[in-house]
């Protein structure tokens, strides 16, 4: 069943007259049309009992049609009032809008106020949970793209490891990775690539810079690739030269924590149980205070999407969910280490999409 049909059925079941979807990621999800409209209006309008349409800037109509969109394409020019154009397309369908579902976690207050002017008697209800429920469970086609995105990220870490050398800067390594990835046909990186070295690994959200790699550093790669609209997000931390005992202990603790969470993944287990499994390993080893973030996040069209793998999320896992598992220890005096995989829940367990080895890789200075 197409996403449009699935949403139409939802509207019929809930007796909602229409839904208007405007988040670019959700527009792509339901229509296959990928566009970043900035402040311009882009949306998919789906009706309980009428033909859906996409509204977008006139100059993007050919791109929309090229994706195979089979319903109406409503274009407007920069000088038009796009909401009037939208309303005309609604009026043409002759349906009353008494109940409209919107993405409350994305639609702006200003746009809702505009819709309330046009449909002053309408009640506005949440579409978010329905869309999240759909996006939460990946189809075989989506999984195939996520696998490919993860494979490209594995390659990116491989390239990063190859580039590490005494005196090279984080930025030089980062550029070499991105350059090679584009050559390999990656559309783009899924987010700003992170290459951190030495003490900078102890910042979970650091910024790569001109620091030069030195013997004894750990080097952390956190990166992802976008492939046909789907993202990967993986982290590996490697050693440059022989690591100290203290570094090794932190590394092995994170690795054990990550594996403990992976080993638990199967339908029915609660998200919070994964977080607890990893966190317990780290706490028992005495590093609890240095693991300062949640265990993971869903991944798909967006780098961060549902489900959130936190210590309080009671949601049971289901087949088809894809998310990251990424425990870390950020010790300001010794080193930071994070290991992150993208995993999919299968019928009876887990598929780990990212394959780059997790035994501590020691890169020998030449």
* Near a copy of itself by CB under 8 A: residue from 128, 142, 170, 341: 128
- What is the C-alpha to C-alpha distance for residues 166 and 212, in angstroms, rounded to an integer? 7
Q: Is 98 helix (H, G, I), strand (E, B) or coil?
A: coil
* Near a copy of itself by CB under 8 A: residue from 6, 49, 70, 77: 77
- What is the C-alpha to C-alpha distance for residues 22 and 326, in angstroms, rounded to an integer? 31
- What is the number of other CB atoms lying within 10 angstroms of the CB of residue 62? 10
78 vs 348 by CB, closer to a copy of itself? 78
Is residue 12 close enough to count as binding a copy of itself by CB under 8 A? no
* Near a copy of itself by CB under 8 A: residue from 67, 132, 280, 310: 310
- What is the C-alpha to C-alpha distance for residues 352 and 145, in angstroms, rounded to an integer? 14
Is residue 304 close enough to count as binding a copy of itself by CB under 8 A? yes
Is residue 312 close enough to count as binding a copy of itself by CB under 8 A? yes
Is residue 175 close enough to count as binding a copy of itself by CB under 8 A? yes
Tell me how far, at minimum, the Cβ of 245 lies from a copy of itself, in Å. Answer: 27
Is residue 171 close enough to count as binding a copy of itself by CB under 8 A? yes
* Near a copy of itself by CB under 8 A: residue from 98, 129, 192, 242: 192
93 vs 304 by CB, closer to a copy of itself? 304
Is residue 182 close enough to count as binding a copy of itself by CB under 8 A? yes
* Near a copy of itself by CB under 8 A: residue from 142, 170, 178, 342: 178
- What is the C-alpha to C-alpha distance for residues 203 and 330, in angstroms, rounded to an integer? 7
- What is the C-alpha to C-alpha distance for residues 138 and 189, in angstroms, rounded to an integer? 21
Is residue 78 close enough to count as binding a copy of itself by CB under 8 A? yes
* Near a copy of itself by CB under 8 A: residue from 9, 92, 104, 133: 104
Q: Which secondary structure element, helix H or strand E, spans residue 189, and what is its range?
A: strand 188-189
Is residue 61 close enough to count as binding a copy of itself by CB under 8 A? no
- Asked if the peptide bond before residue 307 counts as cis, ω within 30 degrees of 0, the response is yes
* Near a copy of itself by CB under 8 A: residue from 4, 25, 32, 63: 63
- What is the number of other CB atoms lying within 10 angstroms of the CB of residue 81? 11
Q: Is 21 helix (H, G, I), strand (E, B) or coil?
A: strand
Beta bridge partners of 325: 341
Q: Considering only residues 222-261, where is the footprint of a copy of itself by CB under 8 A? A: none
- What is the C-alpha to C-alpha distance for residues 338 and 166, in angstroms, rounded to an integer? 22
Sign of the dihedral through C-alpha 276, 279, 283, 285: positive
Per the document, the length of the chain is 366
* Near a copy of itself by CB under 8 A: residue from 94, 120, 140, 183: 183
Is residue 105 close enough to count as binding a copy of itself by CB under 8 A? yes
243 vs 327 by CB, closer to a copy of itself? 327
Burial class, 300, CB count within 10 angstroms (exposed 0-12 / middle 13-18 / buried 19+): buried
Q: In Å, how far from its chain's centre is CA 366?
A: 37
Residues within the interface to a copy of itself (CB under 8 A): 35, 38-39, 57-60, 62-63, 77-79, 102, 104-110, 112-113, 124, 128, 171, 174-175, 178-179, 182-183, 188, 192, 203-205, 292-294, 303-304, 310-312
């Amino acid at each position: 069943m197409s996403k449009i049909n699935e949403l139409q059925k939802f509207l019929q079941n809930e007796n909602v007259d229409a839904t208007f979807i405007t988040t670019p990621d959700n527009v792509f999800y339901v229509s296959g049309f990928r566009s970043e409209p900035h402040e311009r209006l882009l949306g998919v309008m789906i009706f309980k009992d009428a033909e859906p349409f996409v509204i977008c800037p006139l100059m993007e109509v050919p791109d929309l049609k090229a994706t195979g969109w089979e319903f109406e394409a409503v274009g407007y020019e920069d000088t038009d009032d796009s909401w009037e154009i939208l309303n005309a397309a609604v009026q043409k369908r002759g349906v009353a809008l008494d109940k409209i579902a919107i993405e409350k976690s994305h639609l702006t207050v200003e746009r809702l106020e505009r819709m309330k002017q046009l449909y002053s008697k309408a009640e506005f209800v949440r579409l978010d949970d329905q869309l999240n429920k759909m996006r939460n469970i990946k189809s075989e086609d989506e999984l195939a793209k996520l696998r490919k995105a993860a494979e490209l990220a594995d390659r990116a870490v491989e390239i990063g490891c190859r580039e590490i050398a005494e005196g090279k800067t984080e930025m030089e390594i980062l550029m070499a990775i991105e350059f090679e990835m584009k050559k390999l046909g990656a559309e783009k990186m899924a987010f700003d690539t992170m290459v951190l070295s030495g003490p900078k690994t102890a910042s979970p959200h650091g910024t790569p810079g001109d620091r030069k790699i030195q013997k004894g550093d750990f080097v952390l790669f956190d990166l992802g690739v976008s492939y046909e609209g789907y993202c990967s997000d993986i982290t590996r931390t490697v050693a440059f030269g022989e690591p100290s005992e203290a570094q090794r202990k932190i590394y092995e603790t994170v690795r054990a924590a990550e594996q403990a969470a992976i080993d638990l993944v199967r339908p029915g287990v609660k998200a919070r149980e994964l977080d607890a499994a990893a966190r317990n390993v780290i706490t028992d080893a005495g590093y609890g205070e240095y693991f300062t973030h949640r265990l993971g996040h869903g991944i798909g069209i967006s780098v961060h999407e549902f489900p959130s793998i936190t210590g309080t999320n009671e949601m049971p896992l289901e087949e088809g969910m894809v998310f990251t598992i990424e425990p870390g220890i950020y010790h300001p005096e010794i080193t930071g280490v994070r290991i992150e995989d993208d995993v999919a829940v299968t019928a009876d367990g887990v598929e780990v999409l990212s394959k780059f080895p997790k035994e501590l890789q020691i890169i020998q200075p030449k």
